[in-house]
Amino acid sequence: MFPMNFNRSIDIEEPVVIPPPPSPFDFKNKVIIITGACSGIGAAAAMEFAKWGGLLTVVGRNKENLRVVADKVIDVHDHSPLIVHADMTKDEEVRHIVEKTIATYGRIDVLVNSASVIEIGSIETTTMAQYDRVMDVNIRAVFQLTSLAVPYLIETKGSIVNVSSVSGLRSIPGVIVYNLSKAALDQFTRCIAVELAQKGVRCNSVNPVVDVIDIQKNDDLDNEAYENWLVHSKTTHALGRKGLEDEVAGVIAFLASSMANSITGASLPVDGGRHAMCPR
């Protein structure tokens, strides 16, 4: 037996700590405008970008809800977002979104067009007032806000993400004008992508399922009917469920991030496979 030497020191090499690579979702010091941020996908997108360090302009009509979202952003990012109350049907208020953002931050890196409305009705029952309301918010306001933001997005080589719908890809009965508006939004996405590609600006859309958005709960669809819609969705979605706002928000952040540098002009379904299925 060899005598044990308790005085012998053993040299142990310190482990090499390799720092993690920078996250492609790093939006630190990036300025993001999000419309429709009072609830639903817009609110979820605000939380997603805040998580990755984004400087936010949150836009909406409901002052109380918008303040709640802003407070949640502060909890996540210790950053007080710029709050802009705006009616997207009023040109002057849409202009103020860009003016106030530039006055506060001096730049725009990402525009998320999430504000949207829906009207229940067919070709037999839809009024022209309903038509105008949907088209004014879902298309006209998007066109105006995007055109105002584009010069600043060109400066930053920024990105646009439009929140469309599976209704832009498939014809959903009973919401004819909403279908039309979202199909137009997808075409708008492709047009902007082609026009601005050489200037370094990308434009894509996400196409979630209609019932993922709070706007579906309006006066024409009571709680019981809405719950029945959700139950029915188990058979109309390949994954057997509707999408979640957080899931859609994650895809929005992906499309705005450097991970998607080669993606533009895309309409990406985030709908549990609804777009791939036949009607039932």
- Concerning whether 131 is annotated as a catalytic residue, the answer is no
Percent helix, strand, coil in the chain, to 5, is: 50, 15, 40
Beta bridge partner(s), residue 84 = 59
pLDDT at residue 40, rounded to an integer: 92
Any idea where the domains of the chain sit in the sequence? 31-214+244-272
Distance of alpha carbon 213 from alpha carbon 207, whole angstroms? 11
- pTM for this one? 0.84
Distance of alpha carbon 83 from alpha carbon 57, whole angstroms? 6
What Å distances lie between residue 174 and 28, 120, 181, 241, 243, CA to CA?
Answer: 42, 6, 14, 21, 20
Tokens of 203: 């434009």
Per annotation, catalytic residue among 105, 131, 152, 178:
178
pLDDT at residue 183, rounded to an integer: 97
pLDDT at residue 175, rounded to an integer: 92
pLDDT at residue 140, rounded to an integer: 98
pLDDT at residue 280, rounded to an integer: 57
pLDDT at residue 22, rounded to an integer: 60
pLDDT one digit per residue (tens) for the chain, 280 residues: 555 555 555 556 667 766 655 666 789 999 999 999 999 999 999 999 999 999 999 999 999 999 999 999 999 888 899 999 999 999 999 999 999 999 999 999 999 999 999 999 999 999 999 999 999 999 999 999 999 999 999 999 999 999 999 899 888 889 999 999 999 999 999 999 999 999 999 999 999 986 534 444 554 556 676 666 566 666 665 455 555 788 899 999 999 999 999 999 999 998 765 554 556 5
Distance of alpha carbon 160 from alpha carbon 256, whole angstroms? 7
pLDDT at residue 220, rounded to an integer: 54
Distance of alpha carbon 167 from alpha carbon 230, whole angstroms? 16
pLDDT at residue 9, rounded to an integer: 56
pLDDT at residue 245, rounded to an integer: 86
CATH superfamily ID and name for 31-214+244-272: NAD(P)-binding Rossmann-like Domain (3.40.50.720)
